[in-house]
């Protein structure tokens, strides 16, 4: 049982902190960078859960959006589980691999397979991609895209750490799966909530800029008509 009744200890005032095994290290060490990035990722997934809870489950006409309600519930369950797993992995990586305290229970490899099983289930409902997708979307979708990029950064730091101190191969596999998981979940949620994916456009098909539209808007009350005329 964890019991924390004091957060501020002053022990890190000089730029050092303790790993789980009790050893003292500088706060700029690579291992702490990895653990801190896991914490950052977990926090972003917390925002995803918040946004899932904010999805409008009722149409303007009063009808319940059943698909959205179910997607929010299932997505929230999956993200919550991953947050728990990230906490476990953060604890494992918070100490040297040859000195992990007995109280820390390591995750089994089957949790990475669970990520794959969920992705496969979500992909069954989606059309194959015909273009790249820009990292944006409604509510939880945009935050999942951001979380995906944090996972990729975490992977880079993890590989760097592995070149200095051995990291369980499962841990590297897990995070490689997790970045894909964030991407597929974002696509599945977009489909379920009735959103649209924003596709990358070739250079010749893009807007030439907003300068002319900005000047046209000056002095016009009907913004929509002005934009349609440009």
For residue range 168-195, list pLDDT tens digits in order. Answer: 999 999 999 999 999 999 999 999 998 8
pTM: 0.84
Per the structure, how many domains does the chain have?
2
Give yes or no: residues 129 and 141 share one domain: yes
- Smallest CA-to-CA distance from 20 within 122, 105, 96, 130 is with 96
Give yes or no: residues 175 and 210 share one domain: no
Give tens-digit pLDDT for 195-230.
899 888 888 887 777 777 777 777 666 666 655 655
Backbone angles phi, psi at 29, to 5 degrees: -65, 150
Query: CB of 30 within 8 A of CB of 94?
Result: no
Give yes or no: residues 93 and 135 share one domain: yes
Query: CB of 42 within 8 A of CB of 82?
Result: no
- Looking at residue 40, which CATH number applies to its domain? 1.20.1200.10
Q: Domain of 28?
A: 16-199
């Amino acid at each position: 049982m964890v019991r924390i009744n004091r957060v501020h200890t002053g022990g890190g005032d000089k730029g050092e902190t303790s790993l789980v095994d009790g050893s003292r290290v500088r706060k700029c060490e690579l291992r702490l960078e990895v653990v801190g990035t896991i914490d950052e990722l977990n926090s972003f997934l917390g925002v995803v859960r918040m946004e899932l809870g904010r999805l409008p489950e009722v149409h303007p006409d009063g009808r319940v959006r059943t698909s959205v309600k179910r997607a929010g519930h299932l997505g929230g369950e999956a993200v919550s589980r991953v947050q728990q797993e990230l906490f476990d992995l953060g604890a494992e990586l918070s100490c040297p691999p040859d000195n992990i305290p007995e109280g820390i229970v390591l995750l089994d490899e089957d949790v990475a397979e669970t990520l794959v099983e969920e992705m496969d289930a979500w992909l069954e409902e989606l059309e194959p991609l015909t273009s790249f997708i820009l990292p944006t979307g409604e509510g939880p979708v945009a935050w999942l895209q951001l979380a995906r990029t944090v996972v990729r950064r975490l992977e880079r730091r993890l590989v760097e750490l592995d070149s200095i101190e051995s990291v369980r191969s499962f841990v590297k596999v897990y995070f490689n799966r997790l970045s894909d998981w964030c991407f597929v979940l974002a696509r599945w949620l977009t489909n379920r909530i009735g959103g649209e994916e924003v596709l990358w456009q070739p250079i010749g098909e893009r807007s030439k800029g907003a300068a002319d539209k900005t000047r046209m808007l000056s002095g016009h009350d009907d913004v929509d008509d002005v934009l349609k005329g440009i």
